Amino acid sequence: MGGTDIKAALFDASGAMLGLTRVPTPHRGVHTVDAVMQEIAELTAGFAADFPLVQPLAVGLIAPGIVDDDRGIGIHAANLQWADAPFKHLAEKRLGMPASFSHDVRAAGEAEFRLGAALPYRDVAVVVIGTGIAASLFIGGRPHSAGGYAGELGHSIVDPAGELCACGSTGCLETIASAGAIVRRYERATGSKMPGAKEIIERARNGDSEAQSIWNDALDALALSIAQLAAVLAPEAIVIGGGLAQAGDALLVPLRTRVDNLLSFQRLPVVVAASIGENAGLLGAALLARAAAVAAGMRP
């Protein structure tokens, strides 16, 4: 469930994605949770009609914001009007099967950790850079969520004298280094409308000095946050996903150099791209749904 769309898919026992549907998220003020649950029930019924031979055993829901994965509660989401919404419980009651409810970025991290680029590591941060920035942390091989509050790397302050962030703080990493911030900063500096961060990185490569300055600031800020993670948590690897990761080596190569330059004796983390792609969140939700089914005594 996102601020704009609800994306849904059916996964079979082999992990194959059998259907992918997208419906607009209903925004209904205090009735948003009810309306969202109604959409989920309809999506589930749609899968049952489209794939009559697949019997779903569990449902995995994910959302942005502050999510208490352990209790399956949506505590708060900036673009979705709910507070302390017990989605795991609501889904189990409504759909009559075990359910999980987790954070979208932690679910994507789960997919990268179980099946993707984070698989070789026990101490690893999966950093998703898109409109905002958030991380999924695995420490000693276990996810760390801190009741839903961990991993908000985008709201780690890198420039206390910087730009006001939507969260209310000043100089958060995502005001400088998210794809959204890169576009916003370039548009503000030049007055020209841009489709995305990709085009600005391209302009930087082609010598546009405004684009270069904004892209360099983004790389510096990201490298600083990664170096801080390296000093405190010492992850073996940083796996970067989300829209900005599509820049590939244009992101990874200068980022690695900067991180290396900032560190001294610390463990230098491997910095690599996520490998699962844009459906990592859905796949992670499926993995977490399977865990809920196992916890309920099923053998999916």
Q: Applying CB under 8 A, does 71 fall inside the site for a copy of itself?
A: no
CB 130, min distance to a copy of itself, A? 18
Q: Which of 29, 52, 168, 191 binds a copy of itself (CB under 8 A)?
A: 168
Q: Applying CB under 8 A, does 270 fall inside the site for a copy of itself?
A: no
Give the range of 93-101, 177-185, 228-236, 287-295 binding a copy of itself by CB under 8 A. 228-236
Q: Which of 147, 187, 253, 257 binds a copy of itself (CB under 8 A)?
A: 147
Q: Applying CB under 8 A, does 89 fall inside the site for a copy of itself?
A: no
Closest CA to 125 of 218, 242, 217: 242
Strands (E), 1-117: 5-11, 17-24, 59-63, 66-68, 73-77, 80-85, 99-103
Are residues 10 and 283 in contact, defined by beta-carbon separation less than 8 angstroms? no
The smaller minimum CB distance to a copy of itself, of residues 63 and 90, is found at 63
Integer Cα distance of 180 and 176 in angstroms? 9
Q: Applying CB under 8 A, does 229 fall inside the site for a copy of itself?
A: yes
Number of residues that bind a copy of itself (CB under 8 A): 41
Number of residues in the chain? 300
Integer Cα distance of 95 and 138 in angstroms? 31
Integer Cα distance of 138 and 124 in angstroms? 5
Could you give the 3-state DSSP secondary structure of residue 117? coil
Task: Give contact residues for a copy of itself (rule: CB under 8 A).
Answer: 66, 76, 123, 135, 137, 139-140, 142, 144, 146-147, 149-153, 155-157, 160, 165, 167-169, 220, 224, 227-229, 231-236, 262-267
